[in-house]
């Protein structure tokens, strides 16, 4: 039965996952080593199985078997014929003793015995020739004999390591499944860093941001790909808030007497926060001059053309940070910094903000906890 | 001491490097993008997976499991075949960003996941 990891403490679970990841890395390294060994053995087997060498060896093996069979059969035959010759010898002696007058018969028997011995001599020579050939072939075969144990051992090794690799793969699959369950038990709520920018095409044709703002927002990640789910309702809501705030920030730029006055940025704007195709309109003095200090006029002109809809959302490479204990205080939209980038891609102006601009209500936090099944 | 909190994002588009354009057979560059992901995954410890995403006119390679220091991240970006402007701008700002929403211009769409490459097979 699968263990219930949801009861584990967050820190305990994280430490456990790190330990398992390290162990898995070791297992994977071992598996890679085994796979290397298997490749090496397979290569050796391929070399041993060179067609000519193997074919020659097998052909010689067949000839040896045939010779051995023939020699054994001929030896049996020679033995039988020896017995027959001995029998004929006894017949000849018997006839010579008891029927000495049968001279022609005795001569015939002796001639027959002589012929039999002649054939026997020829058989013996054949036998000796075959035995010599067998001996030579055996010598050759013995010379190449290490091939057999070598080949057999390679096959055995291959089978062994393939078995080990299969076991290791099974262990890896099981461990990874367990790790995934532990990861799944982690609260899936993160703080991510985004950058909002408007797209301005640079001198080399590449898009460069002109107005840039960094925010931290809440997000959930896809369990498998670890990609942010941008369609999640809270992330989408916080992006809208951040976009509106960014435009409002630049809109309020004209009223700054000093950076401390930025709090007025959107509060006393009679025209409201621009949205969609609305253009930013700066408050100006009667002379037409903006209240902005330290901001070049050309950027003010460009900022006036900026709308919420043209803002592009970028995800920062800073890794998402888990938020295991979400509260209204540690959730929401955090405004980190804002920049103006020149056409040459360099920073023309920046201000570090580092302040919360929006927190979700307790009801929203409760909704998030219920949806993501995060314990109170 | 820098903390290891950065992932690696590589932006590749059709004009990112002349090397990408040397062979007309690479029509949509996907094969080369895969090769680049595997190449980086082989050289550097960038986690188990690389996510390849299709953007409007190019590709993104995201190593979401990588945890690098800022110096390491910028160093690897410079060693990659990513878009020169993106690398330069990221190093200028010390912040690497990949677009996740559509641009304001017409026919632009948010980047979408095309495939996940398992770097363990490398």
Q: B96-114, pLDDT tens digit by residue?
A: 999 999 987 778 899 999 9
Among A20, A31, A217, A317, the strongest candidate for a mutation testing the B interface, having the largest count of B CBs within 10 A, is: A317
CB nearest to A28's CB, from B7, B96, B120: B120
In this structure, the answer to whether residues A360 and A347 fall within a common structural domain is yes
A226 touches chain B (CB under 8 A): yes
Among B60, B100, B114, the strongest candidate for a mutation testing the A interface, having the largest count of A CBs within 10 A, is: B100
Tell me whether residue A4 is in a domain: no
- Of A373, A246, A260, nearest in space to A313 by CA: A246
| pLDDT above 70 for B20 | no
In this structure, the answer to whether residues A158 and A292 fall within a common structural domain is no
Of A126, A155, A182, the residue that ends a domain is A182
From the CB of residue B40, how many other CB atoms can be counted at a distance below 10 Å? 24
Contact A317 B116 (CB under 8 A): no
| Per-residue pLDDT, B103 | 87
In this structure, the answer to whether residues A219 and A347 fall within a common structural domain is yes
pLDDT tens digit sequence for A156-215: 999 999 999 999 999 888 888 888 888 777 778 999 999 999 877 666 666 666 889 999
Contacts of A345 in chain B (CB under 8 A): 85, 88-89, 92
Of A121, A155, A182, the residue that ends a domain is A182
Of A158, A182, A206, the residue that ends a domain is A182
A311 strand-pairing partners: A198
| pLDDT above 90 for A314 | yes
In this structure, the answer to whether residues A169 and A218 fall within a common structural domain is no
In this structure, the answer to whether residues A232 and A280 fall within a common structural domain is yes
Alpha carbons within 13 A on the beta-carbon side of A169? 11
Contact A230 B98 (CB under 8 A): no
pLDDT tens digit sequence for A340-375: 887 777 788 788 888 898 899 999 999 998 888 787
Contact B93 A339 (CB under 8 A): yes
Query: How high does pLDDT run on average in chain A?
Result: 80
Contact A227 B120 (CB under 8 A): no
| pLDDT above 50 for A243 | yes
Tell me whether residue A218 is in a domain: yes
Q: Which of A48-57, A110-119, A206-215 has the lowest mean pLDDT?
A: A48-57
| Per-residue pLDDT, A352 | 85
Segment A70-84 mean pLDDT: 88
Contacts of A319 in chain B (CB under 8 A): 5-7, 67
Contact B88 A345 (CB under 8 A): yes
| pLDDT above 60 for A265 | no
Contact B89 A313 (CB under 8 A): no
- Rounded to the nearest angstrom, the minimum Cα separation between B88 and chain A is 9
In this structure, the answer to whether residues A241 and A283 fall within a common structural domain is yes
Burial profile A116-129: b = 16 or more Cβ within 10 angstroms, e = fewer: beeebeeeeeebee
Grouping H, G, I as helix, E, B as strand and the rest as coil, residue A271 is coil
| Band (B61; pLDDT cuts 50, 70, 90) | very high
Alpha carbons within 13 A on the beta-carbon side of A333? 23
| Per-residue pLDDT, A115 | 82
Q: How far apart are CA A118 and CA B25, in angstroms?
A: 84
What CATH number corresponds to the domain at position A73?
1.10.287
Residue A212 in tokens: 């840039």
- Of A194, A189, A188, A187, nearest in space to A334 by CA: A194
Burial environment of residue A258 by CB neighbours within 10 A (0 to 12, 13 to 18, 19 or more): exposed
**Stronger pLDDT, A271 or A246, i.e. the higher one:** A246
Which long-range CB contacts under 8 A does A292-298 form with residues at least 24 apart?
A: A292/A253, A292/A254, A292/A256, A293/A256, A293/A257, A293/A258, A294/A349, A295/A253, A295/A340, A295/A349, A296/A348
| pLDDT above 60 for A260 | no
In this structure, the answer to whether residues A17 and A164 fall within a common structural domain is yes
Tell me whether residue A3 is in a domain: no
ipTM entry: 0.92
| Per-residue pLDDT, B81 | 87
In this structure, the answer to whether residues A277 and A358 fall within a common structural domain is yes
User: Which range of residues forms the domain containing residue A306?
Assistant: 187-372
Contacts of A318 in chain B (CB under 8 A): 5-7, 95
| Residue A331 neighbours by CB under 8 Å, 6+ apart | A218, A323, A359, A360, A365, A368
| pLDDT above 60 for A271 | no
In percent, the amount of chain A with pLDDT more than 70 equals 81
Tell me whether residue A1 is in a domain: no
Nearest chain B alpha carbon to A307: B104
| Per-residue pLDDT, A368 | 92
Contact assessment for residue B11 and residue B98, using Cβ atoms and an 8 Å cutoff: yes
Domains of chain B, residue spans: 6-121
| Per-residue pLDDT, B98 | 95
| pLDDT above 50 for A236 | yes
In this structure, the answer to whether residues A106 and A151 fall within a common structural domain is yes
Contacts of B104 in chain A (CB under 8 A): 198-199, 309-312
> How many distinct structural domains can be found in chain A?
2
| Per-residue pLDDT, A166 | 93
């Amino acid at each position: 039965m699968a263990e219930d990891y949801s009861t584990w403490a967050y820190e305990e679970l994280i430490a456990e996952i790190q330990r398992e990841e390290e162990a898995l890395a070791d297992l994977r390294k071992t598996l890679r080593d085994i796979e290397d060994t298997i490749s090496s053995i397979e290569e050796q087997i391929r070399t041993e199985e060179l067609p000519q060498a193997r074919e020659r060896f097998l052909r010689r093996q067949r000839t040896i078997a045939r010779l051995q069979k023939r020699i054994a059969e001929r030896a049996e035959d020679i033995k039988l014929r020896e017995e027959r010759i001995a029998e004929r010898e006894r017949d000849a002696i018997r006839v010579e003793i008891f029927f000495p007058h049968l001279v022609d018969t005795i001569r015939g028997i002796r001639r027959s015995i002589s012929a039999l011995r002649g054939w026997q001599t020829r058989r013996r020579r054949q036998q000796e020739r075959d035995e010599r050939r067998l001996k030579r072939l055996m010598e050759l075969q013995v010379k190449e004999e290490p091939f057999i144990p070598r080949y057999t051992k390679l096959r055995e090794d291959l089978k062994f390591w393939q078995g080990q690799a299969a076991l290791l793969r099974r262990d890896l699959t099981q461990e990874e499944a367990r790790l995934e369950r532990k990861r799944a038990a982690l609260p899936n709520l993160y703080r991510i860093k985004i950058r909002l920018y408007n797209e301005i095409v640079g001198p080399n044709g590449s898009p460069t941001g002109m107005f840039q703002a960094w925010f931290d927002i809440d997000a959930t990640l896809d369990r498998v790909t670890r990609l942010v789910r941008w369609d999640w309702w809270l992330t989408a809501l916080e992006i809208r808030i951040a976009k509106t705030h960014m435009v409002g920030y630049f809109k309020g730029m004209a009223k700054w007497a000093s950076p401390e006055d930025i709090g007025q940025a959107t509060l006393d704007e009679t025209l409201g926060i621009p949205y969609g195709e609305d253009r930013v309109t700066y408050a100006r003095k009667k002379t037409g001059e903006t209240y902005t200090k330290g901001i070049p006029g050309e950027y003010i002109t460009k900022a006036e053309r900026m709308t919420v809809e043209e803002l592009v959302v970028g995800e920062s490479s800073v890794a998402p940070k888990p938020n295991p204990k979400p509260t209204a205080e540690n959730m929401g939209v955090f405004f980190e910094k804002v920049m103006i980038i020149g056409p040459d891609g360099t920073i023309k102006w920046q201000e570090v903000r580092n302040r919360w601009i929006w927190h979700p209500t307790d009801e929203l936090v409760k909704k998030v906890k219920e949806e993501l099944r995060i314990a109170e | 001491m820098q903390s290891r909190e950065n992932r690696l994002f590589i932006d590749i588009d059709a004009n990112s490097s002349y090397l990408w354009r040397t062979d007309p057979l690479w029509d949509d560059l996907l094969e080369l993008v895969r090769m680049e992901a595997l190449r980086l995954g082989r050289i550097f410890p960038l986690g188990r997976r690389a996510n390849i995403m299709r953007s409007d006119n190019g590709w993104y390679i995201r190593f979401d499991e990588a945890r690098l220091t800022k110096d390491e991240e910028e160093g690897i970006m410079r060693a990659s075949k990513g878009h020169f402007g993106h690398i330069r701008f990221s190093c200028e700002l010390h912040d690497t960003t990949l677009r996740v929403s559509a641009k304001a211009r017409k026919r632009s769409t948010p980047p979408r996941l095309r495939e996940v490459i398992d770097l363990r097979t490398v």
